[in-house]
Chain A
Amino acid sequence: MSVESAGPSRAARQDAFFQALCFSAAMVLMATLAGLLVALVIGGWPALAHFGPRFFISAAWDPVAEDYGAAGPIVGTLVTAGLAMVMALPLAVGIAVFLVEFCPSVLAKYVSMAVELLAGIPSIVYGMWGLFVLAPWFALHVQLPLFYVVDPDSFWGHLFEGIPNGANIFTAAMILAIMVLPYIATVLRELLLSVPTHVREAAYGMGCTPYEVVSRIMLPYIRRSAIGAVMLGLGRALGETMAVTFIIGNSHEFPRSLFASGSTIASTIANEFAEASSDLHVSALLALGLVLFVITFAALVGARLLIGREKA
């Protein structure tokens, strides 16, 4: 009769083991993020130590002379992502409002599925489409006409300067805008749905038009979380790699106009890493990765804090 006399029972040991197993799996996730940061710091350190602060402000990127400055890709990243948000935000608000307020419910199911599918298309497919369809169209129907119409010495002339081949910062931002659109629209839709019915009904009861209800009641109601949704999109746009690599033109010049070729941090890494010739080149690219990590991490953390978990 002394089967279970010593120590905890078999079931209790099993429970403890299973809980420990699940806990270690959760810790793997934390270790991944920590490891990512440590690997980038260690790998990028030689370049950061070698160039110092000049790494962030110099626009020289010359693998032959072993001189690396990240200002070009950093500015390219911020400009393309920023432009993408400017294009995507009004569209995303429009889609979310249409789905919540105006779309007949028969149609809403299919429209939201189409928007979700837009998020599912792989980045490389966006890249091919951008390179072979969007860029030639843009060059022919936007860049060339502007080239003939706008005085090259005017402000707009400088802004639109560039070889009319469609591979430039502006088209890259257009592709990014389409790619982040579904993420922002989906979160905004969830947020709009979370506005209490009685608040909306009260506004309608006062005789407000749907436009007034949306613009004066519902959008202000979700403002804080909506900024989070934008930052979520921004985080994605900052780190997007393949689509941008296809279409941005991959030039290391500091971007001087909207229609100039440029590069982003992610596109530079994608282009050069596998063929990087020297240790310092590899290290400079890893240091770029560290910069990207810090920027996107800040944007994503900001997004999560503003949106909260339930609506993301």
Chain B
Amino acid sequence: MKFAPRMFDRHTRRKLVNYGFVGLTMAATAVAVIALLLILWSLVANGLDGIGLHIFTMDQPPPEMPGGLRNAILGSLEMCAIGMVIAVVIGILAGTWLAEYGEGKRIAEVVRFLNDVLLSAPSILIGLFVYEILVRPLHGFSAGAGAVALAFVATPVVTRTTEDILRLQSNQLREAGMAIGAGKSYVIRAIIWRASRPGLVTGALLGFARISGETAPLLFTSLGNPNLSFALTQPMGALPTTIYQFALSAFDDWRALAWVGALLIAITVLAANIIGRALARGSHHS
């Protein structure tokens, strides 16, 4: 026998291989979608029961005592808010420079490149960096250092979105501003920024979504604090660090609180992502 008998002719074989391939790509997509649903389901199944008013009105408890997550939630909000203010100011200005002044300059290419690298750099290294520049010299973990670390994580996100959004504005808009005799900086601030507002908000929301779940940069900057504190010079609790501590503990009620915290964070982050992306789509069409 020189040739093994073929089960199918060439045409049928090609068709079958194609069906198999389509099936495999569907299966791959199903894996991703199922993973998402499984994770969301675990969060709801384990976290929903624990949610109640006490989560927002009581501080984190000692083991086997009733309690909530108030100190962690408020700590997260405070540090994220300060981090976002810093990130929005620096990010929008830096993105504006890249889009409006950096054209054709070598250094702009370098900044853009490094910003992209910073965007995906491991956030735990940011934690080490802030430890070295703020925590060690000042001899203590503090909420201020945590906020700065979060700002470093969010700034590249805001910079990137700002540049992309400003580039979408047409040059006629800039020329129209120049034509009525306004200076370049006035045109940028009064016309370009205003026209790009939904996009700039998107950048801020994506930055917020990125940092509100960040744990690693807080581990050695703000450290964590079981008591409610608003002082920037003191250690401060945050939702992610509390989840980290509680989830790895041996106490069932601490673990239950960790699931509640995880559910709250996931809802916040996913909402910020969805709203941000919806706004971004809206501004692309206008």
Chain A residues near B (Cβ < 8 Å): 11-12, 14-15, 17-19, 21-30, 32-33, 35-36, 39-40, 42-43, 90-95, 97-99, 101-103, 111, 113-118, 120-129, 131-133, 178, 181-182, 185, 209-212, 214-215, 232, 235-236, 238-242, 246, 266, 269-270, 273-274, 285-286, 289, 292-293, 296-297, 300-301, 304, 309, 312
Contact with A along B89-110 (1 / 0, CB 8 A): 1110110111011100000101
Q: Are A232 and B120 in contact (CB under 8 A)?
A: yes
Given contacts A238-B122, A239-B122, contact A98 B26 (CB under 8 A): yes
Question: Nearest chain B CB to A297's CB is how many angstroms away?
Answer: 7
Chain B residues near A (Cβ < 8 Å): 14-15, 17-18, 20-22, 24-29, 31-33, 35-36, 38-39, 42-43, 46, 89-91, 93-94, 96-98, 100-102, 108, 110-118, 120-129, 131-133, 141, 152, 155-156, 159, 182-186, 188-189, 209, 212-216, 219-220, 223, 240, 243-244, 247-248, 255, 258-259, 262, 265-266, 269-270, 273-274, 277
Measured CB to CB, the nearest residue on chain A to B108 is: A26
Q: Are A211 and B17 in contact (CB under 8 A)?
A: yes
- On chain B, the residues within 8 Å of A266 by CB distance are 122, 124, 216
- On chain A, the residues within 8 Å of B42 by CB distance are 129, 132-133
From A12, A29, A246, A301, contact of B247 by CB (8 A) = A246
Given contacts A18-B185, A95-B32, A266-B216, contact A102 B124 (CB under 8 A): no
Q: Are A297 and B117 in contact (CB under 8 A)?
A: yes
Q: Are B247 and A26 in contact (CB under 8 A)?
A: no
From B89, B122, B127, B247, contact of A127 by CB (8 A) = B247
Given contacts A26-B98, A235-B120, A240-B122, contact A122 B266 (CB under 8 A): yes
Given contacts A129-B39, A211-B21, contact A301 B117 (CB under 8 A): yes
Question: Nearest chain B CB to A104's CB is how many angstroms away?
Answer: 12
A contact patch SS = helix
Given contacts A25-B90, A98-B25, A273-B128, contact A246 B248 (CB under 8 A): yes
Measured CB to CB, the nearest residue on chain B to A111 is: B29
Bound state CA distance, A241 and B220, in angstroms? 13
Known pairs A18-B184, A131-B247 / 6 extra A-B pairs, C-beta < 8 Å: A114-B32, A122-B269, A131-B248, A242-B240, A270-B219, A293-B122
Question: Nearest chain B CB to A264's CB is how many angstroms away?
Answer: 10
Listed residue (B35, B117, B155, B159) with the most chain A CB atoms within 10 angstroms of its CB: B35
Q: Are B97 and A22 in contact (CB under 8 A)?
A: yes
Q: Are B29 and A120 in contact (CB under 8 A)?
A: no
- On chain A, the residues within 8 Å of B186 by CB distance are 11, 14-15
- On chain B, the residues within 8 Å of A30 by CB distance are 110-111, 114
- On chain B, the residues within 8 Å of A33 by CB distance are 114, 117-118, 121
- On chain B, the residues within 8 Å of A238 by CB distance are 122
Bound state CA distance, A17 and B255, in angstroms? 53
Measured CB to CB, the nearest residue on chain A to B111 is: A26
Q: Are B14 and A212 in contact (CB under 8 A)?
A: yes
From B94, B188, B219, contact of A29 by CB (8 A) = B94
Bound state CA distance, A169 and B189, in angstroms? 51
